[in-house]
Structure 1
Amino acid sequence: MPTPAMLPDDTTGWTLDPVRAALVVLNLQRRFVRALDQEGAPIHQLLTNTCRLMSAARAAGVPVIHSVPVRERGAALHVRQPGAPADGGGEAFAEEVEPRIGDAVLTARKHSAFARTRLDSRLRDLKRDQVVIAGLVARVGVMMTAADAWAQDLEPFVVADAVADHSAGGHEFALEWVADTCGAVTSTEGVVEIFTPAASTAEAV
């Protein structure tokens, strides 16, 4: 996983705000997690960091929204799955990041979480114009979701150490591309630090 010192420079000037943000978690179903784990991706860190993000978001009152692909798309997510078992368990979420009551789960028809879903309207209803993006796969779903968010006048923040790809090079490319074109790249620690004061304020109220 990239360290904060390895992140591309921010050119957006945006400031993440828990009152404006929603956390969007992409494609963390067991079949995709298993496939990337077999390829040597840093899945343990991905799940640990995403779990931290989800906990901090819930405590701060930041909406948590999960996006999953329709079942028939399978390998079109660009997760190679040779010999993957055809069991129903693959459709379940990885245990560490299972949705909880209050979370939303949307089914996307394309790589982007905005593709033929209610994500944009849901964000508007919640008065959220920033999206914090975590999950799989960095060069596919993460990039396209960030680009779609930017195209709809939202501010995407990709969490560098809470996304993964098939290779370190692919992971790095995705982060550089987002930073160059449509969004900000941040770290789990940075997001959690911003969300935690908001959680303390909410508890005091």
Structure 2
Amino acid sequence: MPSSDMVPYVMPGSAVLPPDRTGWSIDPGRAALVVLNVQNHFLHVLRESSAPVGELLAGVGLLTESARAAGIPVLYTLKTAEREPDGRETSFGHPRLPGGEDSRDVVDAIRPQVGDSVLVAKRFSAFAGTRLRRRLAELGRDQPVIVGVFARTQVLLTAADAWMQDMEPFVVADAVADRAHDDHRMAVDWIAATCGAVRTVRGVVDVFGGPGPRHREGGRPSTPLM
């Protein structure tokens, strides 16, 4: 459990976002929501730190429901392996997934639904060793809107990788998180300065145009794609 005197850091709002250097605008016809590693174990790690997990889940939940309602694809990438078959390390001191299946599952509040894509990632970039680029091409999408954890590794490197593949990555500053405010802020600032655009949950939802969260009957996780 987190220390009783630990106060979660404050999610960034629009007033404190770094300047936009891209001039890009989200186009609902080009956008896809990419949700990184919102698994039980990683959320538990964040809860033991100063991360604002409640706000993270609320923001990701609002975005996933808004995207689905607007017909914008939602893609999840999940972490499973810690080492390559030849024994090479893939976590580099990052939180490791324990063996239990429950720890690997997406937290119930924002689980994938029928029609979403689910991919398995071995490295920090969601593009490395996955079908993410091919899946985005199949969907005709070149504006990944990135949310999830951890800001300074998975989020940052996925955004950088997207930009180097001639895409226009957007990172939602109040729908990503890390274990410390400084890590979160560094990632957001670096992305805005080098490879992507930074937005807020409210700004993205307004562009998506879909309604807010709504109860979905009978939703089931989709089948993972390698």
* TM-score, scaled to structure 1: 0.91
Task: Report if aligned partners of 1:32, 1:79 keep a CA contact under 8 Å in 2.
Answer: no
> What are the equivalent positions in structure 2 for 1:58-137 lying under 5 Å apart?
58-72=68-82, 76=91, 79-80=94-95, 86-137=99-150
Distance 1:151 1:78 in 2: 26
Aligned-residue identity in percent: 48
Cα deviations by residue, 1:114-162 (Å, 9 ceiling, x for unpaired): 0011110111111101000000000000000000000000000000000
Q: Which has the higher helix share?
A: 1
- Pick the aligned partner of 1:151 from 164, 167, 179: 164
Give how far 1:165 is off: 0.8
Partner of 1:39: 49
Structure 2 residue 184 is the aligned partner of structure 1 residue 174 = no
Contact 2:119 2:130 in 1 (8 A): yes
Moved over 4 A (4+): none
SS in 1 for 2:72: coil
AA at the equivalent of 1:170: D
Output the CA distance in 2 between the equivalents of 1:85 and 1:136. Answer: 17
Structure 1: runs of 5+ lacking an equivalent? 200-205
Change (3 A) 1:13 1:183: same
Is it true that 1:24 corresponds to 2:34 in the alignment? yes
Shift of 1:97: 1.1
Q: How big is the alpha-carbon RMSD for the aligned residues of Structure 1 and Structure 2?
A: 2.0
Per-residue displacement from partner, 1:10-53 (whole Å, max 9, x unpaired)?
A: 01000101110000000000000001111121111001000000
Distance 1:54 1:77 in 2: 30
Unaligned runs of 5+ in 2: 1-10, 84-88, 213-226
In 2, Cα distance between the equivalents of 1:88 and 1:141?
21
Alignment counterpart, residue 194 of structure 1, candidates 207, 219, 225: 207
Which residue of the partner structure matches residue 51 of structure 1? 61
TM value normalised by structure 2:
0.82
Q: For 1:32 and 1:102, how far apart are their aligned partners in 2?
A: 24
For the Cα contact (< 8 Å) 1:77–1:140, is it kept in 2? no
Task: State the Cα distance separating 1:69 from its structure 2 match.
Answer: 1.6
Quote the Cα distance in structure 2 between the aligned partners of 1:64 and 1:118.
Answer: 14
**1:77 Cα shift?**
7.2
In 2, are the aligned partners of 1:28 and 1:68 still within 8 Å (CA)? yes
Change (3 A) 1:13 1:39: same
